[in-house]
Amino acid sequence: MRYPGNSSLVGPPWLPRAALAAFILLGAASSPAQNQARPAGYAGSDTCQVCHDDLSKAFGKNPHHSVETGSKPAWKGLACEACHGPGAKHAESASAADIVNPAKQPAARTDEICLKCHLNQPTHAGRLRSSHVKNQVSCTNCHTMHQGPEKLRPTQAGDINQKCATCHNAVWAQFQRPYKHRLPEGAMSCTDCHNPHGSSLPRSIRTVAGNEPSCLRCHSDLRGPFAFEHAPVRLEGCTTCHEPHGSANPRMLTRREVRFVCLECHANIVAGPSLGGVPPAFHDLRSTRYQNCTICHTKIHGSYVDAYLER
Ligand code: HEC
Ligand code: HEC
Ligand code: HEC
Ligand code: HEC
Ligand code: HEC
Ligand code: HEC
Ligand code: HEC
Ligand code: HEC
Ligand code: HEC
Ligand code: HEC
């Protein structure tokens, strides 16, 4: 199988690429696949319908039906075989051994079948870096072809979460903690934060406005840029202090109380240069007055006016 540069110029293997362009220009109506004998090995979708009638009728509502009617001209009339490979032999033998089921192939092979047409889509730009690719999770692990639009492309948050949770049940369990985004309620989904196809950020974090983490799409008040940044927010990211999948601590913090989060870095110990500054001496940490750091340092994510993040 090949990865052609231009995904729209993909045809059956019997069609050389040079011929393909002419083939498309001439229009598929006059294609040999339509009018004369099928190319060797191919049976045509109408032949499949003879035995797979229900499935073929349902296919009329599948977005891929446009392939049958010419959206990918080289496959006009051959939509079934665009994914299942040449089927003439199978149409005679009716044996499963003679036909490709993409969902039963090794993951890389399945992906190739789909990427014949779905290459070069922006959503897939980070694919090679994603651990789905590296762990043999293929297109058909998440996309089911013949069971209706919601199974082909889930759009409801609840359906997406359920899909992801089948494999990531430990992550799903974290969303049952007391402080979390409202995924179990179906108000948000994994793909609000992750791009299931991979991304340019670690952990397949979805990007907004170029290369910012998806958090800022919704929490845009924290975007900045601030005159006075709080270094870890910008440099280390939100998950330095928050647990994105849910936490036992209010505000989804990594520690039970705010001050314990702060004192990880701002403690009265000999600190290396990468840590934050030590609070001034007047901060008597034994006094409850100073324990609640964010009473005074309210602009903990960055301030437009105050170097000490107080306003
Ligand atoms: C003569 C009847 C007949 C025709 C024509 C036919 N099939 Fe089938 N097909 C079957 C039968 C029977 C099975 C079930 C085989 C089994 O389970 O052993 C099957 C199974 C399949 C499977 C499942 C294979 C698997 O491993 O899960 C696919 C995919 C398939 N057919 C696609 C096609 C396509 C595409 C065409 C048209 C090119 C086609 N069939 C034409 C009878 C037919
Ligand atoms: C866009 C790719 C694609 C197209 C087009 C396609 N199929 Fe499939 N087909 C699949 C995949 C993937 C599966 C594996 C099960 C699933 O995902 O639903 C499958 C499964 C099947 C099966 C096995 C039974 C089942 O539901 O699991 C049959 C039979 C079948 N396809 C026949 C056809 C026929 C007939 C056509 C044309 C009308 C067709 N397919 C068009 C991708 C495709
Ligand atoms: C022959 C070309 C071709 C192949 C092969 C193909 N697709 Fe598609 N796919 C299309 C076209 C055309 C559409 C229609 C939507 C569009 O314009 O992009 C589509 C749409 C989709 C959609 C989006 C549906 C929606 O509601 O937006 C998904 C998901 C999808 N395909 C998954 C797959 C998977 C998974 C495979 C492999 C099993 C596959 N496709 C193989 C051409 C193809
Ligand atoms: C880990 C699960 C997962 C895998 C693996 C996966 N997808 Fe998706 N895909 C989704 C989900 C969920 C959506 C819908 C939600 C969204 O758009 O973010 C989607 C959306 C799509 C769409 C709709 C439009 C778009 O580009 O967002 C297409 C087309 C698509 N996938 C094709 C593919 C192909 C082709 C592969 C294999 C190379 C693949 N997907 C692998 C989960 C997955
Ligand atoms: C078929 C099983 C399966 C499904 C379904 C699945 N995943 Fe995964 N996912 C994996 C495996 C395996 C890994 C690699 C091991 C790990 O990190 O847990 C992984 C890794 C990840 C990672 C770590 C990414 C990285 O690059 O380090 C994220 C994020 C992720 N998946 C999100 C999702 C989302 C979102 C969905 C639903 C749209 C989903 N997964 C559906 C199996 C799956
Ligand atoms: C609010 C945003 C957000 C939501 C919603 C979300 N994640 Fe994440 N996820 C993250 C961030 C941020 C990381 C990176 C954590 C780190 O390592 O710093 C991550 C890491 C991961 C990882 C890799 C590390 C790990 O913890 O195992 C997986 C797998 C994962 N997420 C899967 C999922 C799944 C599945 C869902 C839906 C059930 C989901 N995520 C929902 C933000 C989110
Ligand atoms: C799709 C929108 C969306 C995205 C993306 C998102 N959030 Fe949220 N977040 C919300 C909403 C809405 C709330 C309000 C709480 C609720 O849903 O109950 C919230 C609440 C929070 C809270 C707790 C606030 C409180 O008062 O307890 C924290 C912390 C948080 N988000 C951090 C993050 C981080 C970190 C990321 C990225 C990894 C992120 N969010 C991504 C929508 C989002
Ligand atoms: C240095 C630690 C730290 C980092 C990094 C951090 N936060 Fe926070 N965040 C906090 C603390 C502490 C609170 C609780 C403030 C309070 O007590 O009211 C908080 C509260 C929140 C809240 C609740 C409402 C609000 O605005 O106070 C949201 C939402 C939030 N953070 C999102 C984020 C996002 C998104 C990021 C990444 C851009 C991020 N945080 C990075 C420490 C941090
Ligand atoms: C991951 C480490 C880390 C955590 C956690 C952290 N900070 Fe910081 N903080 C820093 C660094 C680094 C600086 C910059 C220090 C510098 O420029 O000398 C800084 C700067 C500050 C400043 C500005 C003063 C100055 O010297 O520029 C204040 C005030 C502050 N932090 C308060 C807090 C509070 C309150 C918390 C808890 C909600 C907190 N920090 C959590 C690392 C951290
Ligand atoms: C009652 C208000 C108040 C509380 C509570 C408070 N601070 Fe401060 N903090 C201040 C003020 C005012 C300054 C500025 C001091 C100055 O002008 O030199 C400051 C300065 C700082 C600085 C910057 C030190 C420097 O010189 O760069 C850090 C770091 C800091 N605080 C951390 C904390 C931490 C951590 C906590 C919680 C354990 C906390 N603060 C609680 C009022 C407070």
Q: Residues for the chain: how many in total?
A: 311
User: Which pLDDT belongs to residue 274?
Assistant: 55
Q: Residue with the nearest Cα to atom 27 of ligand 3?
A: 153
Q: Is the distance from the beta carbon of residue 118 to the nearest atom of ligand 3 less than 6 Å?
A: yes
Q: Is the distance from the beta carbon of residue 83 to the nearest atom of ligand 8 less than 6 Å?
A: no
CA distances from 90 to 49, 82, 93 (A): 13, 15, 5
Q: Is the distance from the beta carbon of residue 308 to the nearest atom of ligand 9 less than 6 Å?
A: yes
pLDDT band at 235 (very low <50, low <70, confident <90, very high): confident
Backbone angles phi, psi at 100, to 5 degrees: -85, 125
User: Which pLDDT belongs to residue 120?
Assistant: 74
Q: Is the distance from the beta carbon of residue 277 to the nearest atom of ligand 9 less than 6 Å?
A: yes
Residue of 124, 132, 161 to test ligand 5 pocket, by largest number of atoms within 8 Å of CB: 132
Share of the chain above pLDDT 70, in %: 84
Give me the mean pLDDT over the 10-37 stretch. Answer: 42
Q: Is the distance from the beta carbon of residue 167 to the nearest atom of ligand 5 less than 6 Å?
A: yes
Nearest ligand to the CA atom of 79: 2
Q: Is the distance from the beta carbon of residue 238 to the nearest atom of ligand 9 less than 6 Å?
A: no
Report the pocket of ligand 2 as residue ranges, CB < 6 Å.
45, 48, 52, 55-56, 59, 64, 79-80, 82-84, 101-103, 140, 144-147
Dihedral sign, CA of 181, 187, 193, 194? positive
* Closest by CA position to 308, among listed 300, 9, 51: 300
User: Which pLDDT belongs to residue 28?
Assistant: 36
Nearest ligand to the CA atom of 96: 1
Q: With b meaning 16 or more CB within 10 Å and e meaning fewer, what string describes 57-96?
A: eebeebebeebbebebbbbbbbbbbbbbbbbbebbeeeee
Q: Is the distance from the beta carbon of residue 115 to the nearest atom of ligand 6 less than 6 Å?
A: no
Contact predicate 184/174, CB 8 Å: no
By CB atoms closer than 10 A (0-12, 13-18, 19+), residue 184 is: middle
Q: Is the distance from the beta carbon of residue 164 to the nearest atom of ligand 5 less than 6 Å?
A: yes
Q: Residue with the nearest Cα to atom 40 of ligand 5?
A: 164
Q: How far apart are CA 224 and CA 206, in angstroms?
A: 19
Q: Residue with the nearest Cα to atom 35 of ligand 8?
A: 215
The string of pLDDT tens digits covering residues 38-88 is: 678 999 999 999 999 999 999 999 999 999 999 999 999 999 999 999 999
Residue of 180, 204, 216, 218 to test ligand 7 pocket, by largest number of atoms within 8 Å of CB: 218
User: Which pLDDT belongs to residue 122?
Assistant: 66
The string of pLDDT tens digits covering residues 114-165 is: 999 998 776 676 777 788 988 999 999 999 999 999 999 999 999 999 999 9
Nearest ligand to the CA atom of 114: 3
| Distance from Cα 251 to the centre of ligand 8, integer Å | 7
Q: How far apart are CA 267 and CA 279, in angstroms?
A: 7
CB atoms within 10 A of CB 44: 19
CA distances from 266 to 90, 209, 233, 262 (A): 70, 32, 15, 6
Alpha carbon of residue 62 to chain centroid: 21
Question: Is residue 5 scored above 80 in pLDDT?
Answer: no
pLDDT band at 238 (very low <50, low <70, confident <90, very high): very high
Q: Is the distance from the beta carbon of residue 75 to the nearest atom of ligand 3 less than 6 Å?
A: yes
| Distance from Cα 204 to the centre of ligand 2, integer Å | 29
pLDDT band at 234 (very low <50, low <70, confident <90, very high): confident
pLDDT band at 18 (very low <50, low <70, confident <90, very high): very low
Question: Is residue 14 scored above 60 in pLDDT?
Answer: no
Tokens of 256: 């039970």
Any long-range contacts for 142-150 (C-beta under 8 Å, 24+ apart)?
Answer: 142/196, 143/114, 145/62, 145/64, 145/83, 145/102, 146/55, 146/58, 146/59, 146/62, 148/61, 149/61, 149/62, 149/63
Q: Residue with the nearest Cα to atom 14 of ligand 1?
A: 96
Tokens of 109: 């092979």
pLDDT band at 37 (very low <50, low <70, confident <90, very high): low
Mean residue pLDDT of the chain comes to: 85
